[in-house]
Structure 1
Amino acid sequence: MFFQEPELQYEVTVEEPDPHFAKLLQQAIGGQEGEMRVAMQYMFQAWALPEGYEEYRNLLMETAAEELGHIEMLASAVTKNLRGSSKQMSDDAQETAATAAAMTGQNPRQFLSAGESAMPVDSNGAPFTGNYIVASGNLAGDLYANVMAESTGRTLATRLWEYTDDPGMKDMLSYLIARDTMHQNQWLQALETLDDPVPVPASFPQEQENQEFNYTFMSTRREEQPDPEYPWTQDEAPDGKGQFSYAAEQPGDGEVIAPQPSPMTNDTPNRTDESSDSSE
């Protein structure tokens, strides 16, 4: 169940409308690092949780609803950068902003298809895709994915903050950056409440995995290299169940040649007798 209020979660003001910045803000709406991604991700993760996980479901749904509010804020910011405020801009200035959005390398579809407003697309105009969403059904795995999502989202927001000189946009982005800080920490804290957050999934018996390679850092260099003695080649593993070690080479001995395809695929080209002989 959802409710809505006719106000933004946080104030959004634009002092100097910038159609190009409106295009960049689209990445924070429909891009891989954007708010549509995390809102949908948290919802589908929550809907997969069974009985007995109510506190995690509530955490996910509360945050998902907050992210919907962030989409609304960013959509308002995009529209204000494209149209400007009639109280702040003259007719000539509004026409200039609209023309810039349509004709000077910004996203023309924001003018042509959306009438100077936000769209569910990224900064290149590519539509949002559900392929960005991680909802595996495994709570620990999903929480790790959420830390990553908030980390890349915060990185994007800081880059947008660095790009703009508009005080209103900096203020809005400062708020979103702060919320990403909270969300990174809340997902990490939620992981701390799980008995075995790593390796994922914890339910798979580790005695069934190859014991020779489960805590071994494997070098893929052609020439054998000595152990660099990094923490991930010699210290105790974070899960407390193994000791890191170093392998200077890969196991090898795997068969490279693929089996013959079915004749029905017509995959095999005709070969001359000469080429056939040379391969023997």
Structure 2
Amino acid sequence: MWYYVKTLEYPVNLKCKDLTMAKYLITQYGGPDGELSAALRYLDQRFTMPTGKSKALLTDIGTEEMAHVEIIATMVYQLMENATVDEIKKAGLAGHYAEHGKAVFYTDATGNPCAAKQRYF
């Protein structure tokens, strides 16, 4: 279906921890207007397109949005990688940590599951 190259098109190499930025990026990752939601909207909408060309365009856009999901996930992981539990709590990510550790998960900025997650997972 797709040819997947196991490298990021735009490599991410963040060397500092920044839990505030990680919290902001988590909502861009899986919040209601985040990359995952956008990808799923484009990939859903392609089924209602009247021509093969329009279906192909939305497939390409949705696939590109999935690449953005991968880039954002990498950024969040790197920003949280060396954080202590106390630092995570102080940043307001205690609930996220309690349920998912340092793994990235689809939530909005307040830690609520996003609509896409509730709908598809």
TM range (shorter): 0.7 to 0.9
Cα deviation digits, residues 58-113 of structure 1 (max 9, x gap):
11100100100100110111010001xxxxxxxxxx3xx23211x21421244222
How far off is 1:29 after superposition? 1.0
1:136 is matched with which residue? none
Name the larger-Rg structure. Answer: 1
- In 2, the alpha carbon distance for the partners of 1:5 and 1:113 equals 31
Q: How big is the alpha-carbon RMSD for the aligned residues of Structure 1 and Structure 2?
A: 2.0
Q: Which runs of 5+ in 1 are unaligned?
A: 84-93, 131-280
How far off is 1:9 after superposition? 2.5
With a CA cutoff of 8 Å and minimum separation of 6, indicate the structure with the bigger relative contact order: 2
- In 1, the alpha carbon distance for the partners of 2:3 and 2:93 equals 32
Q: Count how many residue pairs are aligned between Structure 1 and Structure 2.
A: 117
2:53 is matched with which residue? 55
Secondary structure class of the residue paired with 2:38: helix
Write the letter of the residue equivalent to 1:7.
T
8 Å CA contact retained: 1:28, 1:34? yes
Q: What's the TM-score once normalised by structure 2's chain length?
A: 0.85
2:119 is matched with which residue? none
Secondary structure class of the residue paired with 2:46: helix
User: Mapping of 1:56-135 within 5 angstroms?
Assistant: 56-83=54-81, 94=82, 97-99=83-85, 100-101=87-88, 103-130=89-116
Write the letter of the residue equivalent to 1:69.
A
Q: What's the TM-score once normalised by structure 1's chain length?
A: 0.39
Q: Which runs of 5+ in 2 are unaligned?
A: 117-121
How far off is 1:12 after superposition? 1.0
2:4 matches 1:39: no
